[in-house]
Amino acid sequence: MVSLPTAVVIGAGGGIGGAFVAALRNTGRYGRIHAFARTPPTSFSSVFGGQINVTNEESIAAAAMTVGSPVDLVLIATGMLHEGGRMPEKALRELDANTLARIFEVNTIGPALALKHFSPLLPKDRRAMIGVISARVGSISDNRSGGWFGYRASKAALNMIVKSAAIEIARSRPEAVCVALHPGTVDTRLSLPFQHGVAPDRLFSPERAARQLLDVIDGLKPIDTGKVFGWDGEEIQP
């Protein structure tokens, strides 16, 4: 009997991460779904909750150890835009070293360490996927308004991490695809202060965002590895 694939969602406590878990379970395609978050989600049916703190490498390594078996899909859905009442910078004079360090810790270093510990779990003999939540504002060529220094830079750096990881992963796992994903504007706490100018048809529920991104992932091939894709399947240039 052929066993069903295994999936991992890191950041399952967030809006998009939680929606990923529900969407994957509803497909019936996965025999095991490991859902990791700071506060472990409840385990039920094919979903197995586990604790992770992406700002602590020991926690990431321990989470990967609990999975064990080959993993066919890894989704890294962690990130921050604002914290503790501090909003994204609008000008250079607002830059703060501690805030910049914090946003890089969460948006860049955490996902990089997750790639370090979870990519070795991908099978070598079949298709496997890694999707990392990024953002269109991480595109340098698409930046026409400035501002949001820390968030933009941390996502641009994340996209480079994904690119380099994809090159390395392909050497031993030629059928694997590792990409960064832009979910659009999703109705979560992260985007709440910035939704006023978003057209209603472009403000996605977490459930819709998760389905759209999973559809994008399903259509990707090894030639797409290392790239950044939007919710609509269009490639986003660096």
Predicted confidence (pLDDT) per residue in 150-189, tens digit: 999 999 999 999 999 999 999 999 999 999 999 998 987 6
Give residue 196's pLDDT.
67
Give residue 3's pLDDT.
81
Q: Is 95 contained in some domain?
A: yes
Binned at pLDDT 50, 70 and 90, residue 199 comes out as low
Give residue 203's pLDDT.
85
Residue 231 has pLDDT above 90, yes or no: yes
Instruction: Say how far apart CA 125 and CA 102 lie, in whole Å.
Output: 38
- For residue 58, the domain's CATH number is 3.40.50.720
Q: Which residues pair with 178 in a beta bridge?
A: 130
Q: Is 179 contained in some domain?
A: yes
Q: Which residues contact 12 (CB under 8 A, 6 or more apart)?
A: 18, 20, 21, 35, 36, 37, 41, 49, 77
Binned at pLDDT 50, 70 and 90, residue 89 comes out as very high
Q: Is 197 contained in some domain?
A: yes
Cα separations in angstroms, 137 against 4, 159, 204: 36, 11, 17
Q: Residue 188 in contact with residue 14, Cβ under 8 Å?
A: yes
Binned at pLDDT 50, 70 and 90, residue 2 comes out as low
Could you report the per-residue pLDDT of 111-149, keeping only the tens digit for each? 999 999 999 999 999 999 999 999 999 999 999 999 999
Structural domain containing residue 104: 6-236
Q: Is 159 contained in some domain?
A: yes
Residues 108, 112, 113: CA angle, nearest 5 degrees: 120
Kindly state the helix (H) or strand (E) to which residue 36 belongs, with its residue range: strand 32-37
Residue 84 has pLDDT above 80, yes or no: no
Give residue 86's pLDDT.
84
Counting beta carbons within 10 angstroms of the beta carbon of residue 32, is it exposed (0 to 12), middle (13 to 18) or buried (19 or more)?
A: middle
Instruction: Say how far apart CA 77 and CA 16 lie, in whole Å.
Output: 7
| Helix axes 57-67 and 110-118, enclosed angle (nearest 10) | 30
Q: Is 1 contained in some domain?
A: no
Give the chain's domain count.
1
